[in-house]
Structure 1
Amino acid sequence: MTESKDRSFPGAGLSRRTLLRAATAAMAMPAVAQATSAFAQEKLAGSGQVVVYSYGGSFTAGMRKYVFEPFTKATGITVVDVTADFAEPQVKAMNQAGRVDWDTAFVQGFTYPAMHEAGMFLPIDYSLWDDESLKGVPDSARLKDAVVAFFSGTLLAYDERAFGKSSPKTWVDFWDVGAFPGPRGLSAPNPEYNLQFALLADGVAKSDIWPLTDEKIDRALKKLDEIKPHVKKWWTAGGEAPQLLISREYAMTTTYDGRAIAAIRQGAPIRMVWDGAYGKNNYWVVLKGGPNTENAQRLIAFVNRAAIAAGFTQGTGYPGANVNQLQHLPSELVPLVSVNPENASKTIIEDAAWLAAKRPDGKTNLDHIQERWLAWRAK
C-alpha cells in the first residue's frame, strides 16, 4: 500500500442518491450487523484483551457502546480503554522509556510523519480486512502503518436561545459582537484553528488560507486582538465548549464537530455552522511494543467494516473512513456529519505536511505558530 498525499475528505464525492438511501438504511442495520458479527467470529476471533486509547467523555462512551462492546461480543477480546486529551506525548514517552502499555492510539495528521519516521508504529495488517472494508476505505486513507480513524472538524457553534431569527452563519458573524452579542469561546491549545478563523473573518478567501505564512499569522493575530476581550473562557478539553453553550456561559464558540453532535443528539439547543470549518485527518495506529498488538490489528479490521464504521460515527459524531457507512446511518444524523458532501464542501483541510515541515531554525511550522500564540496570549 502506497502512502498518499491526498488529504481530501473521505467520502466527499458521494452522491445525493447515496444520502437519500440513508433515510431507510437503519432498517437494514440488524442484518448487516449480524453479517459483520459472523465475519468477526470467523476471522477475528481471539482471546485476552486490547488496550485502546481514546479521548474520554462522550467520545469514549460512544465507542464503548457502538464499537468495543460489539467487538468483544463478536471476537471474545476484552477492550480496556485509557483516556487523555492527546495521545502523542504519552506514546512518545512510552517509546523512549522502552515500555509501551497501550496497543492502539489516535494520532493527528501533523504528528504522524515524525512518529512514523521514528518507527513507533507497526504495519497495519490488511490481510485481516474483508473485501467490503478494502473497497469502502479509500486508498488515500490506508497507509502502511496507519489508517484514517476519523475526519474531525472544528467549527462555529452557537446557542440557538441566544439569537432570534437572525443567526450567525460565518466567521465574520462570530467577530461581529454588535449584531451578535454575547460571550465567545475559543480553543486554547490549537492556535492553527483560531488563525484560520481569524483570517476568514478578515476576508481572506478559503483557497488562500494555506500555507500560514508569517505575514498571515501577523494578520490573524491582529484580527484576534478584536475578539480577545469577548472570549470569556479559552476552552482546553473537547467537552467544555458544548457544555458552556448549554449553561449559557457562551453564546458562540468554536467546538469539535463530534462533541457538538453528541450534545445535539441529547437535545442540547446547539446549532453548528460548517462554513469555514477546520478539517483534519486523525489516524489509528498500532503501537510497536504494545502488549496485545495482534488483538489491536483485529480491532482496527473490525471497526473499518461499513456497519461498524457507522456505529463509530453514531457513538462519537466523527465519521470513520469507510464511505459506505452513509448507507447505514440514521437519516437525522446524515446532515450533521462531516462526510455529508454539503458539509465537506464548506470545510478547509489543514495542510498537515506544511505544519510538520521544518523552518530554517529547525523548528516545525507548528512549533513556530505555538510560540507566536503563547506570546500573543500572554500580552
Structure 2
Amino acid sequence: MTVKITTMKFAVSAALLLASLPTAALSDEIPDNLKGSGELVTTTGGGGAFDDARKKAWFEPFTRDTGIKVVIVPTDNAKLMTSVKVGQPEADLTFVSGGEVPSWINRGFVDKINYSYFSKETLAGIPEEARSEYSFRSNSYSVVPTYSTTKYPQGTKHPENWVDIYDVAKFPGKRALPNCGNTLYGGLLEGALLGDGVPPEKLYPLDFDRAFAKLKQIAPNVGRWWGWDEGGLAPQSLIDGEADMGSAWNGRILSLQKQGAPVALSWDQSLLQYDDWVVVKGSPNQENVAKFLAYIARPEAQAAFAEAIPYGVVNRDAYKLLPKELAENLPGAPSIAPKQITQDYAWWSEARPDGKTNLDYAVERCQAELAK
C-alpha cells in the first residue's frame, strides 16, 4: 500500500469556501459571562479546509467577541500525553475521535467538562449523548460511497452503496479505499462487510474473517489506498483517474463539488462518525476553555461552521439558521440519518482476551493480510 502523491488540481481554497460565511454573533449579543482575558491553547485539526473553517467560524469570532486569545499548537497526541504526565500540559483543549475518548478517560488524560457557562437555551438544543461528563461533541462527518462523474455522468447508473462499490462485475474499474492505518476512521471493515451483503442492523460485532476475505478479493481493483491524514487523496484519485469510485469523507467531496470538481457521493449506508472536544488534564486555562465551548455550542456558531465546511452540527437549533439545501445535506440531518449507520466506537475500543482492543487486532491483521 504505497502512497503516491498527486497534483491537487482541485485543492480546497479557503477563500472560496469561506467567502460567503456569515458573520458570527455580534459582540453585544454575547453574554457577559463568556467574556474575559488571557488565552486558551488548542490543537490543530489536521490542516486544510477543516482548520480554516474552525478559525473563521469559531476561533477568530471568539477572540473578537470575548477578548480571549486562541493559541493553536500542532497536534501530537504522544507529545501532549507526555506533557500531561510531567505536569506541564502543552494544550488546554484538544479534540479526538469519539472512538478514542474512552482511552483518554481511562488513562487519566482529561478533566471534566464545565457546563456552567452554557445557557439553558444552548443546552436544550444539544442531545444528551453529545455532552457527556468528560467530552463535548465537536462535529459529525461521514465516510460515504463516492464516484467520479466523469466515469458516471449525471443520469447514468452509478454506485449507490457499499454493495455497488464492492461489485466489480456490475461496476468495473479501480477503487479508492482506506489503508490499514485508516481502519477505524476510514470505515474500512464496515464498508467491506456491508459490501459483502451484511445488513446494517447485523453489522456489529464485525466478522473479521468475512471482512478480510472481502478486502483480499477487492484488493487487485484498488487504485488508491488512502490514510487518515490523506483525506484529500480519496477524492483526488477520482479527479486524476486513479480510481472511478470508492470511499471518502463527505466534507471533502461536497467541498470539491462546490468548486466544480467531477465527484459525487451517496448517503446510502454511509457511516456516521464524530469527534469530541476534551479538556486536557491539569491545563491552566480551563475557565477560558469552558467559555469557548459554551460560545461555539450556540446555534449561530454551529451554523457558521456548517456553512464553512459541510459537517454535521451539534446544536439542533442551528438547522433553523442554515439554508434549506445545506441543512438537508449534512451528516446526521433528519432527512439523512435514516440512511446512515453510526460507527460503534464502544465495540472498537473493547478489549480482547489478550488485552488488545478490537482496533489493535484489526490493524495488525490488516497489515498482515493485505501485505500478502
Q: So what's the TM-score if we normalise by structure 1?
A: 0.85
Gap runs ≥5 in structure 2: 1-21
Aligned to 2:220: 229
More moved, 67-76 vs 109-118: 109-118
Aligned to 1:151: 140
Aligned to 2:160: 169
Q: Distance in 1 between matches of 2:31 and 2:210?
A: 56
The alpha carbon displacement at 1:39 in A equals: 4.4
Q: Quick check: 2:166–2:196 contact (8 Å CA) kept in 1?
A: no
User: After superposition, what is the alpha-carbon deviation per residue over 1:239-262, rounded to whole angstroms, capped at 9, x for unaligned?
Assistant: 221233233332212111222222
Aligned to 1:352: 345
Q: Distance in 1 between matches of 2:270 and 2:78?
A: 26
Q: Distance in 2 between matches of 1:240 and 1:110?
A: 23
Q: Quick check: 1:141–1:148 contact (8 Å CA) kept in 2?
A: yes
Within-5 A mapping of 1:218-297 = 218-236=209-227, 237-297=230-290
Q: Quick check: 1:279–1:349 contact (8 Å CA) kept in 2?
A: yes
The alpha carbon displacement at 1:97 in A equals: 4.1
The alpha carbon displacement at 1:211 in A equals: 0.9
The alpha carbon displacement at 1:61 in A equals: 0.7
Within-5 A mapping of 1:1-379 = 33-34=25-26, 37-40=27-30, 42-53=32-43, 54-84=45-75, 88-164=77-153, 165-188=156-179, 189-192=181-184, 193-212=187-206, 216-236=207-227, 237-379=230-372
Q: Quick check: 1:163–1:180 contact (8 Å CA) kept in 2?
A: no
Write 1 or 2 for the structure with the bigger share of helix.
1
The alpha carbon displacement at 1:289 in A equals: 2.8
Q: Quick check: 1:302–1:308 contact (8 Å CA) kept in 2?
A: yes
Q: Distance in 1 between matches of 2:299 and 2:77?
A: 28
Q: Distance in 2 between matches of 1:265 and 1:33?
A: 26
**Inter-CA distance 308–254: structure 2 relative to 1 (3 Å threshold):** same
Q: Residue type matched to 2:104 in 1?
A: M
User: After superposition, what is the alpha-carbon deviation per residue over 1:268-327, rounded to whole angstroms, capped at 9, x for unaligned?
Assistant: 222111111122232111112334322222111111001101112222322231111111
Identity of aligned residues (%): 37
**Inter-CA distance 98–253: structure 2 relative to 1 (3 Å threshold):** farther
The alpha carbon displacement at 1:116 in A equals: 1.0
Q: Quick check: 1:304–1:320 contact (8 Å CA) kept in 2?
A: no
User: After superposition, what is the alpha-carbon deviation per residue over 1:187-233, rounded to whole angstroms, capped at 9, x for unaligned?
Assistant: 12222411111111111111110011xxx111111111221112112
Q: Distance in 2 between matches of 1:108 and 1:88?
A: 12
Q: Distance in 2 between matches of 1:247 and 1:63?
A: 29
Q: Residue type matched to 1:78 in 2?
A: K
Q: Residue type matched to 1:191 in 2?
A: T
Q: Distance in 2 between matches of 1:41 and 1:186?
A: 46
User: After superposition, what is the alpha-carbon deviation per residue over 1:22-75, rounded to whole angstroms, capped at 9, x for unaligned?
Assistant: xxxxxxx77x834xx434352211223222222211100111111112111111
Q: Quick check: 1:245–1:251 contact (8 Å CA) kept in 2?
A: yes
**Inter-CA distance 227–339: structure 2 relative to 1 (3 Å threshold):** same
Superposed CA RMSD: 2.0
Q: Quick check: 2:216–2:370 contact (8 Å CA) kept in 1?
A: no
**Inter-CA distance 96–61: structure 2 relative to 1 (3 Å threshold):** same
- 3-state SS of 1:219 partner: helix
- 3-state SS of 2:242 partner: coil
Q: Distance in 2 between matches of 1:127 and 1:296?
A: 12
Q: So what's the TM-score if we normalise by structure 2?
A: 0.86
Runs of 4+ in 1 over 6 A off after TM superposition: none
Aligned to 1:18: none
- Kindly tell me the number of residue pairs found equivalent between the two proteins: 343
Q: Quick check: 1:185–1:234 contact (8 Å CA) kept in 2?
A: yes
The alpha carbon displacement at 1:90 in A equals: 4.1
Q: Quick check: 1:41–1:74 contact (8 Å CA) kept in 2?
A: no
Q: Quick check: 1:148–1:320 contact (8 Å CA) kept in 2?
A: no
The alpha carbon displacement at 1:117 in A equals: 2.3
Q: Residue type matched to 2:220 in 1?
A: P
The alpha carbon displacement at 1:169 in A equals: 0.6
Q: Residue type matched to 1:120 in 2?
A: F
Q: Distance in 2 between matches of 1:122 and 1:302?
A: 19
Higher relative contact order (CA 8 A, sep 6+): 1
